[in-house]
Amino acid sequence: MKVVALVCSARRGGNCEEIAERVLGILGGRGVETEMVRLIDYDIHPCNRCDYQCFREEEVCPIEDDVPLIWEKLRRADGVVIATPSYYGFLPATFKAVIERAQGILNWVTVEFRDLEAVWRGKPTLVIAVSDGGGEFILQYLRETLKGAHIISEHLSYTELGIPGYLGGLLRLPQASSRVEEMAEKLYERLSASKDLSGDDDP
């Protein structure tokens, strides 16, 4: 069983990375294989200079970068963690680029990999948004976009927690830390339940 954590922040060692590390640490302790995917470590481009090649059977998206690799990791994962900040009320542009490029990659990577639902259907997915503003909107967007995923979500609001979020170190607050740990437990329960149902070890 494998869980991939997408860290959507543009900085290293911030709240999102710490949250993903904490969740993966808990899952790793239960024998789950884990992988951290920091979007800043990958070459990611949005749709650009496009002639809708991806809509035509005989053509492919001309962009060569790491986005197909990221989709392949997501497709193969049994569960996903998305740790994201709000950047001006939405997910960072790197995440949005990964989503919009799905259109061109779904036909490209494998034939059965045709739409977002093929990647997310039934997949336990923990989304944790950190922000003052925009967190709830991000959660709503992801619930609508990751079609068919079993989403468990949490919004950690800096105002509510009483600290300026840009400083990082959110998990030093016991209440933030325990909420993240609780979410990790819920994800583990959901993963265990979905594995019992499918018995499938190699998606």
List residues binding ligand FMN (CB under 6 A): 9, 11, 14-17, 85-89, 130-134, 165-166, 168
Of 169 and 203, nearer to ligand FMN (C-beta) is 169
Q: 110 or 159, CB closer to ligand FMN?
A: 159
CB-CB contact of 97 with 44 (8 Å): yes
CA–CA gap between residue 81 and residue 72 (Å, rounded):
15
Closest residue to bound ligand FMN by CB: 14
Q: How far is the CB of 126 from ligand FMN (least distance, A)?
A: 16
What is the residue-wise DSSP string for 105-147? HHHHH-TT--SHHHHHTT-EEEEEEEESSSHHHHHHHHHHHST
DSSP classification of residue 165: G
Helix-helix angle 67-76:93-109, to 10 degrees: 80
Residue 151 beta carbon to ligand FMN: minimum distance, rounded to whole angstroms = 20
For the CB of residue 72, give the shortest distance to ligand FMN in the complex, in Å: 25
Which residues, in sequence order, are CB contacts of 144 under 8 Å at separation 6+? none
Residue nearer to ligand FMN on the CB measure, 68 or 92: 92
What would the two tokens of residue 97 be? Answer: 């680029």
Residue 89 or 203: which CB sits closer to ligand FMN? 89
- Output the smallest distance, CB 11 to ligand FMN, in A: 4
